[in-house]
Structure 1
């Protein structure tokens, strides 16, 4: 791991730490995924979340019905319209998740050294003596002496299996805890759950809610093998526009970790679910997995998303010192995005959480050693480079040498812009997506909207959808026309100023061109 470690930019003056940060149009290059729920589903709160820096809205279907989430999504659309801020939509599947079911939602107090029974009979009411679970025949998998964990983000209980009584599992409670909520994930360390990764319930939600709302991302919970991703993609390919939906593999257990390389090849991105994975892994190994996984994602040019960073902000206005440092280290490792779960889903301070996490990301990005990262990436890619890889790395190198304020990339698929972002330029990359006219033999439509929104999870990439009246075919007149619109957009947003240098990456005929322009008054 030593060879992949990224140091801070040197030297850092201690006095500079106390200097206030300069205001920026983009508060951070790192993207923030916010989970919308009970405390963050009104138009007003969602609007504030968008302004604070949320660029992807996550809908967690492990709770709430389709109608509930549809109402939230309609509020998101209204917020996008009023704030004029783009936001992508991520559907998070339930997957083969084992859960403790608390239908009454009453707090459950569990006392250390007492016994509690886990039962597959979900009609029973949860109590301090009985916990219903959604796992049929647990006795076939669980053994005496095994450890189980359940709880919420900040409170968990450790159970030891003491006895098996038919389908019921009698456990000794190892620590005192109070569980609040309706569902708690049940973690059984290092076992294979013989359930499909994409369940029938997941398929139903995707084929109805997902199709209706043309989801941008599918978060595939408990991805264990590359075949899981292939099966999910095969399913999406039959659902109209969802063939364009990107699949993010959620790594949540040792099985997924073991097959990480093959999963990364198949997935469009990876979510490191540190909460669940932290149960399967020894605590001292979690950081090592994060660094190795993020590095592999970086070199593959695929987004790495890190979860469970500021759990304490579910109930508190400020993160702990350890959490603030954890967020910064995730950025220095090379993460593309931070995913907030309970902090925005049911936390008391969703807007403040997004804002604070964004500010921490911004500070970490300022000292990210881009020069070392660039050299490592070029060395990893090796020679000969592909045509696109060469253009992307050249654009970033040129932009840094001339101190450009922005890189503008013309793209139709989004691939060229993502490759530029792979090299982590110190300035924003404005991805100008050129729509393409396509047909399914029944109707004509323009592509481009999916590609634009899907860049909202890539570090440093900011999309702009060009006017569909501009043809995808590259001509000198078209390029100049779209470039003028992009520059005007940059000026209006405060991203570009007079006399700034801008690096432009575009196609001219059959050739790919990187050019540097200096703006006049």
Structure 2
């Protein structure tokens, strides 16, 4: 694993920090993925999200049926038309996700030092003493002392709807757990995560395949977010499935790394996937808290050097219920950008958060500020050194274009392309890139820096 360094322009004048942020003609180059849901599915709210910087709409099939998501997507189309803002569509699979089955959808109170039984018999009613789950192999996978986390879907980790359990004993197919903190499980869907345990469920389930083959094909999705990717073979199987669906052959696969198993096979997954999503929520449970930042920095660096987008999740949890992020969250977003992250994925903050538009706006502003002090020259030199010699023809052209742009202080590189390959190579060497001729919506995602040739009304040379 390579350690990464902050690519920060030095020195920063303290006076400039006190100056008000100036409105920029262009949005942040770091892209924002917004998860659409109950609080963010109206045309009005989606339009607001697009105006302040959302460039990818994420549809998570862990909850909601295809009809519900289709209604949301139709609203997105209307918002795109009215705002004239492009937005890509990302389908997020369920994958090997463990869920508590709560048919009555009633709140469940759990008290510290009490006991609760996890059972695979889904027909039983959920209560404070019994939680039915959707997996019949838990008793064989866990042992006494293992840690289990149960929380509301897209939990923030700081709320009272999350509970930590410790396995006390295994009784047949049931797992008896001690409750480590008092909590009330509220909401229609609770997810369950077992720390560092292999879950014998397919990464791409039959339900996922059906949704992709129907809803995905119908809507010609731009990105497939492959939840709980654990091996490169998971990506290959997903790509094989997409290749059989004619309309989705250009759909890119972003592997979500959510547990230690995926972490251990990160290099091979990176080689197969089109991009990586670092799911810090589940990773923060699977890994000790003090280790999460190490993986994040190393993974982002590897994505940068491979020329593949790195997406960071779980950045402003507090904005699910508050109008402003914490100081630590704001710094976290900026440092992620300085480390080389290409996009920020918002989950609970936009899906069920009270301030989806404000959240996207603030995250975008933080990203833009970080980009102002991002050392493009240093990043370029590091990338060239990593790629080495000999370069491919496209890499050589891209490298030369970026080198020339840096020397003449160009504001943007215009890249005419039909497939997008040339523009993505220039992105690998990290410089502003405008692109025309690309037929799909992919040109509005991640730090491929696609702007628009008609928007070049600013100072600086054009290379």
Which residue number corresponds to residue 146 of structure 1? 146
Taking the TM superposition and a 5 Å limit, the aligned residue runs for 1:150-161 are: 150-151=150-151, 152-154=155-157, 155=159, 156-161=162-167
- Poorly superposed stretches of 4+, deviation over 4 Å: none
**CA apart distance, 1:99:** 1.2
Secondary structure at the counterpart of residue 9 of structure 1: coil
Which residue number corresponds to residue 459 of structure 1? 447
Q: Would the aligned equivalents of 1:303 and 1:457 in 2 still touch at CA under 8 Å?
A: no
Report the structure number with the largest CA radius of gyration: 1
Q: 138-147 or 188-197: which moved more? A: 138-147
Q: 314-323 or 117-126: which moved more? A: 117-126
Instruction: Determine the C-alpha separation between the residues in 2 that align with 1:9 and 1:17.
Output: 14
Instruction: Determine the C-alpha separation between the residues in 2 that align with 1:456 and 1:123.
Output: 45
Q: Would the aligned equivalents of 2:2 and 2:298 in 1 still touch at CA under 8 Å?
A: no
**CA apart distance, 1:500:** 4.5
Alignment of 1:66 with 2:66, yes or no, is yes
Q: Report the number of matched residues.
A: 457
**CA apart distance, 1:3:** 5.8
Which residue number corresponds to residue 329 of structure 1? 335
Q: CA RMSD in A?
A: 1.5
Q: Would the aligned equivalents of 1:6 and 1:373 in 2 still touch at CA under 8 Å?
A: no
Alignment of 1:501 with 2:443, yes or no, is no
**CA apart distance, 1:178:** 2.2
Instruction: Pick from 257, 277, 298 the counterpart of residue 304 of structure 2.
Output: 298
Structure 2: gaps (5+ residues):
none
Instruction: Determine the C-alpha separation between the residues in 2 that align with 1:3 and 1:294.
Output: 10
Taking the TM superposition and a 5 Å limit, the aligned residue runs for 1:102-501 are: 102-151=102-151, 152-154=155-157, 155=159, 156-425=162-431, 428-434=432-438, 448-449=439-440, 453-462=441-450, 486=453, 489-490=454-455, 495-497=456-458, 500-501=460-461
**CA apart distance, 1:399:** 1.9
Q: Would the aligned equivalents of 2:333 and 2:366 in 1 still touch at CA under 8 Å?
A: yes
Alignment of 1:98 with 2:98, yes or no, is yes
Q: 350-359 or 190-199: which moved more? A: 190-199
**CA apart distance, 1:404:** 2.0
Which residue number corresponds to residue 89 of structure 1? 89
Q: Would the aligned equivalents of 1:101 and 1:182 in 2 still touch at CA under 8 Å?
A: no
How big is each residue's C-alpha offset from its partner over 1:74-111, in whole Å with a ceiling of 9 and x where there is no partner?
Answer: 00000000000000000000001111223333332211
Q: 151-160 or 410-419: which moved more? A: 151-160
How big is each residue's C-alpha offset from its partner over 1:464-488, in whole Å with a ceiling of 9 and x where there is no partner?
Answer: 5xxxxxxxxxxxxxxxxxxxxx3xx
Q: Which has the higher contact order (CA 8 A, sep 6+)?
A: 2
Q: Would the aligned equivalents of 2:235 and 2:269 in 1 still touch at CA under 8 Å?
A: yes
Instruction: Determine the C-alpha separation between the residues in 1 that align with 2:173 and 2:137.
Output: 5
Q: Would the aligned equivalents of 2:3 and 2:298 in 1 still touch at CA under 8 Å?
A: no
Structure 1: gaps (5+ residues):
435-447, 465-485, 504-521
Secondary structure at the counterpart of residue 256 of structure 2: strand
TM norm structure 2: 0.96
Q: Would the aligned equivalents of 1:406 and 1:496 in 2 still touch at CA under 8 Å?
A: no
How big is each residue's C-alpha offset from its partner over 1:161-204, in whole Å with a ceiling of 9 and x where there is no partner?
Answer: 11222222111001112222222221111111111110000001
**CA apart distance, 1:460:** 4.7
